[in-house]
Structure 1
Amino acid sequence: MLKNYLMFLILLIGGSNFAVSQEVSGTVTDDTSQPLPGVSVIIEGTSTGTITDFEGKFSIKSNIGDVLVFSYVGYETQKITVNSSTISVTMQSGVGLDEVILVGNRSKPRTILDSPVPVDNIGLAELRNTGQPTVDKMLTYKVPSFNSTNQAISDGTAHFDPADLRGLGPSRTLVLVNGKRKNQSALVYINDTPGKGEVGVDLKSIPAAAIERIEVLRDGASAQYGSDAIAGVINMVLKKNVEYTTVGVRSGITTEGDGFNFGADLNTSINLGPDGSYLNFTLGYYEQEKTNRAGTPGEDGLFGIAANDPTWGTWLAENPDLGMTIGQPELKIMDVFFNAGIPLNNTGAEFYSFGGLTYRTGTSFALYRAPYWVSDPFNLLHESGTTYQGFQPTFETDIRDNNFTVGFKWDLFGFKADLSGTYGRNAVDYEVNNTLNRDLGANSPTSFDVGAYSFSNTLANLDFSRNLGQIDVAFGAEVRGERFTSTAGDPASYFNPTGAGGAQSFPGLQPSNALTADRDNFGVYASLDWEPTKDLLIGGAVRYEDFSDFGDNTSWKVASRYLLGNKGAIRASYSTGFRAPSLHQIYLSNVQTLVSGGAISNQGTFNNVDPIIREGLGVPQLTAETAKNISAGITFKPVSNLSLSVDFYNVKVDNRVLFTNEIGFDDNTATTNPVEQILIDNSITSLKFFVNAVSTNTSGVDLVANYNNIQLGNGKLGATLAANFNETKIDGKIDTPALLEANNYEIFNRKEQSRIISARPQSKVLLGFDYKLSKWNFALNNTYFGEVTWQHATDTDKDQTFTGKIITDLLLGYEFSNAISASVSVNNLLDVYPDEIETGGDVVTDLGGRFRYPWEVNQFGFNGTTISASLNFKF
């Protein structure tokens, strides 16, 4: 079926009608007559554009009578009608409401002021000013409704860092690269972290050096872009043609003396011809060392070993941290990215391609196996004749993420047509080292291949758009194929005849867990924007998608905006949305054997097509989540340097896919119930599964205020205040399968519910200042992360709320010349940490004192102060 759809799309190319164009070039300067690099130049009503180089120069193919839109963060947008081949433009100081954006509208670019939905437009300089090393962390400190933090002692999750918008979970944010869908990661977050049970996009797989800007659409957009766009859309816009090669190096370390990091990147462009052809190329490298902020209890409450224990008291005194390493993982990232465009001479058509490859390795740590927990009788992990000290297994990942798009734009019967194909893949291989399998005795290796996951998608898109005076129309089709693969580990990793647990810390995936699952879907959409007057915009969109494995869905959206002259706008939207259950959530399965204090626990995750789940427990087939999203807001620009916006929103998600809590034996009954019989028949002590069972209601408000180009002494000051306040509630009753409900089982207890309603800050406020004085640049950012709450599974007295904290970041930059600049940044200047865990008598909360800071709910991590320096060259 997928092949037939592709052939159908290709046949639609015929009947092309090409327009004649010419080369238009010029220079853009600021209001002090200095060249202005990085200015966006777009032909109005199209997505064709370029940016100015470091000398403020640009070149673009355009027709006489076309309108060129010049926009840049901090300056007022200029519109110039093309009447010659040379244009000079002076940009006047302005603010963000005039910035041109591409996301949120399938027909033509708009400014933030013109958009009927809220969009953030974040340039590379703003991202760099956060002082953060990776894109996901940069966005955390630039977008109030976006959150991403390092996870510790969480297997693969420690290497992917779940990220989300508006606290709605990683699965409900769609990520685009140059407007094309980015593939999801191969990993399901199944550990006890925010986003548990969900699948996101690997945001570490896109290097900041390749990005021109990031557009964040804070509104439901399933009707325009399809599945996953419930919370919003993040569009990574890659650099195109640049005049200079830039090279950057940076390094940092925490004030505790650990977590050393180093990064280097190169970005350059190659002119492929005098017609505006370009090839932008990025190389990147980044590495970081581990940090450790383990607790130091000096006793082990998890195993009941007191500090004065006659056998182990000496070991505890010498190892008060119980041997733990808890913090950010070791990491190495290598990136290769490109972005290319080749206009066809005198036709107005363009061939384009972009993509990249990221290769990443990482090492995180499991719980330390103290000598009283796991023995080493065959001296596999210690030398004979020495005192056995236990061991800490390492969890090591080998991650590859590649994404490639090729496309062709042309004019077809007066429409702008865009045909493209995209392939994306994320794969992760796991190794567990410095460990053993007790069942193999003296023959046990100490390093294990424990399996692998991969996920890929293949897309074909055909899009059309046209301006018809007061009406802009767009329509198109998409065909997408997806594949999820699970690969078993080596036999030694899961060998477990006596129930001793396989490879300690992470038993390998078994052959019964290995599979390859495929699905495809076909979608069509249409949108229409009508501007009966220059002030009023009314828009609508509808999208139909049909999935091969669970059925179809239709989503729609209406939106409107009314301009308040040139001072602002009132806007509102209402939309329905959906998210298809990921292949990972449908087909993931494993059985893990855990040993705790001599008690063996076999925990089974069964996939949604397993007869044990579907027939034995009566769990229905997974289907799409559906959403209703309403937002309303106002933007206001009282003076040229000041802009304000406030947007209220409410998002209702029905039938959310969740990952259940452990379902085990009921110790309160003397007889064996049907659920327990399933556990006995499968030789497990508990099970988990995915199910559509929860409906949520999220309400919130986003506020943004920018005041730029304030004359202060001989320099200029910019100030930004941005905030998000949100609350998520669970609506109604949790939909428990009848057999489980009849036997009094909970499938989503209080602890699991807290991952949805309180694991992310419900308030986040950013207050930033940027001051430019001659060759100096100073940035001071304060980020308030609101409180988060951990809920105990059954006992409300053991809940804990971790108070809100303010993180202060300082950056100082200096330009030695036009070619060399440097900066020094101090992140978390005041060395702020989260509240410490108070166990309330429950050793599971901090795992017997091993964890000092919260790990199942998360605000901003716990590395403390990091000092970094960077040096940048251009030539």
Structure 2
Amino acid sequence: MKRTGLVSFTALALASLSASAAMAQTLPAEAGEATDEGATIIVTGTRASGITAAESPTPIKLLGADAIEKVGQPNLNQALTQLVPSFVAQAFGGDMANQTLQARLRGLSPNHTLVLVNGKRRHTTANFAVLSGPFQGGASADLDLISPQAIQRIEVLEQGAAAQYGSDAIAGVINILLKDNDEGGTAVGSYGEYYKGDGGTYNAQLNLGTRVGEAGWINLTGFYRSHGRSQRGGLDRRVTDMNGVLLTTLSAAQRALYPGQDGFPFVNKIVGDAKSRLYNTSYNAGYDLGDVQLYSFGTYSHKTASSIQNFRLADRVIRSPVLGVAGTLTTPGVILFDNTGFDPTEEISEDDFGITGGVKGETMGWKWDLSTTYGKDKVKLYTRNSANASLFVDTGFTPTDFYDGQFINEELTLNADFGKEFDVGMVEPMNVAFGAEYRKGTYSIGSGDPGSIYKEGGQSYPGFRPTDAGSHSRKSYSAYIDLALMPADGLKLDVAGRYEHYSDFGSKVIGKITGRYDITDGFALRGTVSNGFRAPTLAESFYSATNVAPTSATVQLPANSAAAKLVGFQNLKPEKSTTFSAGFVAEPVDKLTVTVDAYQIKVKDRIIGSGSIAGKISGVVCSPAANPSGCPFDGNLILGAIAAQGNILDPTVGDVSIAVFTNGVDTRTRGIDLTASYPMSMDFGSINWTLSANYNETKITKVSIDPRLIDAIAISIIEKSSPKWKVIAGATFTSGPLSITLREALYGPTSQLTRPSGAYLGPVGGYYKVEVGTSALTDLEVSYELVKDLTLTAGANNLFNKKPEKVYNVTLANGTGLRPVTGSNVWNQPLTFGPYGFNGGYYYGRITLKF
């Protein structure tokens, strides 16, 4: 940790504590519905009306528009990860996953968090995160497609709530409340980039509210963002040594060629942000007809993004009459790309659409709400600046651009909700809520063009074959009941139950009991016991593809396929969860609230990636007898499963493996959340001190499949790849037109096991531990209202340019020499799984006009 980061963090923490600061779960929030005292009324985690965050029996964090804006980067994932300790956003994804980054709560899967917009379920992305890592299997709602300026506030329920909202809400719920202003607006323009000078980000947002007729309103938001690539890749070990000096083993032709490569000696550009452009529009509208209100809201987004993949050497695609695809620069023949090598680029074109319409009112004391929500995400996939090596050898021609296919995810949800208060002789009336929900989901994969699927397909990303393609759907029906009551002074109880039936795996019944007891006006105990479940996503069940690198290929077999069953995998089934939490809320003095909540989440039959199961290593078919560590299965069995699925691999690839999603383990997650804030008024201004923290640890309690189907890397990712603790301390000083925000985030260590290709011949099992150590990141923002309603802002995220450690190098026991411990091709590459990314500092400027 840099000394500056440690000093600033310590100063903030001591200042917070010296002010007796404790923290309200309420972070700075703008107008929402409020009590007479000004406290925001929450709508998440309870179906009773009039409950504030301070009164909630469940832990709720409120993030207002002002807090979200002060993050700097115009990206909702970044806002949440910098404001909510238990929330971690993905910094880098492999293959197409780098175009749709995921996030997660409490170290669980991205799929364990349910995202709502105005209390209605948000559809999920079609772009499935396949490759191994902390976010593997993620197909949650894409928060990046919601404009920050459209948001009035966010309510984060950090507790399992499947009994209230259905499948997915195991780790918690993120409810995004859209602005409902019926007049005025805000225009925002900003620019920022990383300290290195790349990743330039242009952003423009416009929010406008207006009346519609005599009793209606509509709030509109437009959003545009352009984000440039960043480049943090290391030296390519196929071209230079670890000091950037050309290898003496290269031919004379190669030694003359490579110094001319773009960015030499950093010719491998795979590690970095994708280049992207995003257009987004959203609306929130309502019309009051007296006893009945009509409402609707929706979003539309168009996004293009591209990321550079592993560099292909100049002789990767060559047609030689002597050696064919195995030709070299010294062999007479035809070489593509003018003997320069090439950088394949993976690209998406995405259209995302979501709309909700409903009607609500009150009849004979019954409040009712009927709504329909439809969402669709369509992602078209392309590979640019590439080649199909086998097609070139066989015909003398290959395209350089390929259409690889498409993903489509569609979700339709119908809701009917009812509620009424009954006087049953308790301290307060009992609130009875019940309702029903119907959902239909469809996930489709479309196949690529002929060039993308000829034999092994294009370099870096083969197209989807007809055997990969298909459309899969399911339906679910559910009913719930929720009782909120106060049987005695200070005692609040909430009991919920839910029945849900899925067309593909049957029925589940789950429940939740929450209680809060206010011992005094300033101290309350609260706790929850619940069980839940998560249905496997259709992508987890049916996704099929081939993932390639220059010297390796991994075939992702569909979990619910005959090919996967050849190796011993079974169809996916739902995960089941049990959650316990207990904590307290203390309000010792005015404006001061302290909350502490401990929790335990057990997940049974958790769906995970199997890890890579080798069929060939270094071109040799696996033999368990000869190599039990690296080859637990007969390689012919693995290659047979690949053939059964219809996949064809590049003949020059040396390492071949499969991966499958499976209900592989039971896990137990334990942790503590602490939050506190204290607003301090002074003669010359005010300071809002905030402090929040999360401690979180996940353990695998049972491996429920053949141990050979899950490797040590997959286990380490589950247990070690999230920070064990994260602390965020902040202070916002305001004096007249001046506002200064200082925030310090302290991340605990994260680690995982890994091994380079062939490294099984090294230590036992061939595994090496890589770690991102304890890190402190400082954010600073200064705003000044130049004239009324016109504010200029300058700031920096990660002010002191903190970066994660780089991979280290090992010498393998089989005499193949020094190589990086992660990734078979790159020296001095930053670790990409850390909780705060690898790009370093980001500075920005912003202008805001309110009208």
TM over 0.5: yes
Alpha-carbon distance in structure 2 between the residues aligned to 1:310 and 1:484: 47
Matching residue within 303, 325, 334 for 1:360: 303
Structure 1 unaligned residues grouped into runs of 5+: 1-35, 43-68, 71-76, 79-97
Matching residue within 646, 664, 668 for 2:624: 668
SS in 1 for 2:111: helix
Alignment match, 1:320: 265
Matching residue within 640, 664, 677 for 1:706: 677
SS in 2 for 1:322: coil
SS in 1 for 2:484: strand
1:710-750 deviation per Cα after TM superposition (whole angstroms, max 9, x unaligned)? 134501011111011110000123422xxxx6xxxx21111
Tell me whether 1:448 sits opposite 2:402 in the alignment.
Answer: yes
Tell me whether 1:586 sits opposite 2:541 in the alignment.
Answer: yes
Alpha-carbon distance in structure 1 between the residues aligned to 2:280 and 2:634: 55
SS in 2 for 1:131: coil
1:364-420 deviation per Cα after TM superposition (whole angstroms, max 9, x unaligned)? 1110112254448899xx999996221101111111221100000011332100000
Tell me whether 1:621 sits opposite 2:571 in the alignment.
Answer: yes
Alpha-carbon distance in structure 2 between the residues aligned to 1:583 and 1:316: 45
Matching residue within 388, 395, 398 for 1:437: 388
1:807-857 deviation per Cα after TM superposition (whole angstroms, max 9, x unaligned)? 1010000112332111111111101101121133453514333562112x2
Alignment match, 2:846: 870
**1:258-297 matched pairs, under 5 angstroms:** 258-275=198-215, 277-296=216-235
Deviates more, 1:362-371 or 1:288-297: 288-297
Deviates more, 1:723-732 or 1:839-848: 839-848
Tell me whether 1:421 sits opposite 2:376 in the alignment.
Answer: no
Structure 2 length normalisation: TM-score?
Answer: 0.86
Matching residue within 648, 659, 674 for 1:688: 659
Tell me whether 1:646 sits opposite 2:587 in the alignment.
Answer: no
SS in 2 for 1:141: helix
Tell me whether 1:240 sits opposite 2:232 in the alignment.
Answer: no
Matching residue within 423, 435, 445 for 1:476: 435
- CA change 1:513–1:561 in 2 (3 A) is same
**1:772-783 matched pairs, under 5 angstroms:** 772-783=734-745
Deviates more, 1:834-843 or 1:200-209: 834-843
Deviates more, 1:663-672 or 1:414-423: 663-672
Alignment match, 1:126: 67
Q: Is the 8 A contact 2:127 2:139 kept in 1?
A: yes
Counterpart AA for 1:544: Y
Alpha-carbon distance in structure 1 between the residues aligned to 2:790 and 2:450: 55
Displacement after TM superposition at 1:541 (Å): 0.3
Tell me whether 1:521 sits opposite 2:476 in the alignment.
Answer: yes
Counterpart AA for 1:823: T
Alignment match, 1:205: 145
Displacement after TM superposition at 1:674 (Å): 7.9
Alpha-carbon distance in structure 2 between the residues aligned to 1:589 and 1:119: 38
SS in 2 for 1:509: coil
Q: Is the 8 A contact 2:90 2:135 kept in 1?
A: no
1:268-295 deviation per Cα after TM superposition (whole angstroms, max 9, x unaligned)? 11201333x2111111101110111121
Tell me whether 1:849 sits opposite 2:841 in the alignment.
Answer: no
Tell me whether 1:350 sits opposite 2:293 in the alignment.
Answer: yes
**1:678-757 matched pairs, under 5 angstroms:** 678-679=640-641, 682=644, 685-708=656-679, 710-736=680-706, 746-757=708-719
- CA change 1:593–1:128 in 2 (3 A) is closer
- CA change 1:565–1:386 in 2 (3 A) is closer
Alpha-carbon distance in structure 2 between the residues aligned to 1:310 and 1:629: 59
Q: Is the 8 A contact 1:302 1:843 kept in 2?
A: no
Matching residue within 376, 399, 421 for 1:467: 421
**1:557-636 matched pairs, under 5 angstroms:** 557-592=512-547, 595-596=550-551, 603-614=554-565, 616-636=566-586
Alpha-carbon distance in structure 1 between the residues aligned to 2:770 and 2:268: 26
Q: How many equivalent residue pairs? A: 765
- CA change 1:759–1:849 in 2 (3 A) is same
1:194-213 deviation per Cα after TM superposition (whole angstroms, max 9, x unaligned)? 21123221111111011000
SS in 1 for 2:467: helix
- CA change 1:251–1:674 in 2 (3 A) is closer
1:174-222 deviation per Cα after TM superposition (whole angstroms, max 9, x unaligned)? 0000000001111221123321123221111111011000000000000
Alpha-carbon distance in structure 2 between the residues aligned to 1:37 and 1:119: 13
Alpha-carbon distance in structure 1 between the residues aligned to 2:269 and 2:249: 20
Tell me whether 1:543 sits opposite 2:483 in the alignment.
Answer: no
Alignment match, 2:16: none
Counterpart AA for 2:31: V
- CA change 1:534–1:205 in 2 (3 A) is farther
Q: Is the 8 A contact 1:334 1:358 kept in 2?
A: yes
- Output the aligned Cα RMSD: 2.7
Matching residue within 814, 819, 837 for 2:784: 814
Displacement after TM superposition at 1:140 (Å): 0.3
- CA change 1:686–1:148 in 2 (3 A) is same
Alignment match, 1:158: 98
Q: Is the 8 A contact 1:658 1:691 kept in 2?
A: yes
Alpha-carbon distance in structure 1 between the residues aligned to 2:169 and 2:245: 49
Counterpart AA for 2:810: G
Tell me whether 1:144 sits opposite 2:144 in the alignment.
Answer: no
Alignment match, 2:605: 655
SS in 2 for 1:436: coil
Displacement after TM superposition at 1:334 (Å): 0.6
Alignment match, 1:394: 345
Tell me whether 1:225 sits opposite 2:180 in the alignment.
Answer: no
- CA change 1:660–1:38 in 2 (3 A) is closer
**1:403-422 matched pairs, under 5 angstroms:** 403-422=354-373
Alpha-carbon distance in structure 2 between the residues aligned to 1:214 and 1:417: 24
Alpha-carbon distance in structure 1 between the residues aligned to 2:271 and 2:549: 20
- CA change 1:460–1:386 in 2 (3 A) is closer
Alignment match, 2:19: none
Displacement after TM superposition at 1:533 (Å): 3.4
Alpha-carbon distance in structure 2 between the residues aligned to 1:667 and 1:843: 25
Alignment match, 1:331: 276
Alpha-carbon distance in structure 1 between the residues aligned to 2:467 and 2:642: 18
Tell me whether 1:173 sits opposite 2:173 in the alignment.
Answer: no
Matching residue within 770, 779, 783 for 1:800: 770
Alpha-carbon distance in structure 2 between the residues aligned to 1:417 and 1:508: 48
Alpha-carbon distance in structure 2 between the residues aligned to 1:252 and 1:280: 28
SS in 2 for 1:651: strand
Deviates more, 1:143-152 or 1:322-331: 322-331
Displacement after TM superposition at 1:782 (Å): 0.6
Alpha-carbon distance in structure 2 between the residues aligned to 1:180 and 1:227: 13
- CA change 1:456–1:677 in 2 (3 A) is closer
Displacement after TM superposition at 1:316 (Å): 5.6
Alpha-carbon distance in structure 1 between the residues aligned to 2:419 and 2:773: 49
Structure 2 unaligned residues grouped into runs of 5+: 1-27, 328-332, 616-621, 627-632, 650-655, 756-763, 812-818
- CA change 1:425–1:783 in 2 (3 A) is same
Q: Is the 8 A contact 1:298 1:317 kept in 2?
A: no
Alpha-carbon distance in structure 1 between the residues aligned to 2:534 and 2:240: 42
Counterpart AA for 2:339: Y
Counterpart AA for 2:748: G
Q: Is the 8 A contact 1:606 1:613 kept in 2?
A: yes
Alpha-carbon distance in structure 2 between the residues aligned to 1:410 and 1:463: 11
1:442-478 deviation per Cα after TM superposition (whole angstroms, max 9, x unaligned)? 4211110011101111010000111224211111000
- CA change 1:593–1:673 in 2 (3 A) is closer
Alpha-carbon distance in structure 2 between the residues aligned to 1:430 and 1:801: 33
Counterpart AA for 1:296: L
1:2-30 deviation per Cα after TM superposition (whole angstroms, max 9, x unaligned)? xxxxxxxxxxxxxxxxxxxxxxxxxxxxx
- CA change 1:376–1:806 in 2 (3 A) is farther
Deviates more, 1:483-492 or 1:186-195: 186-195
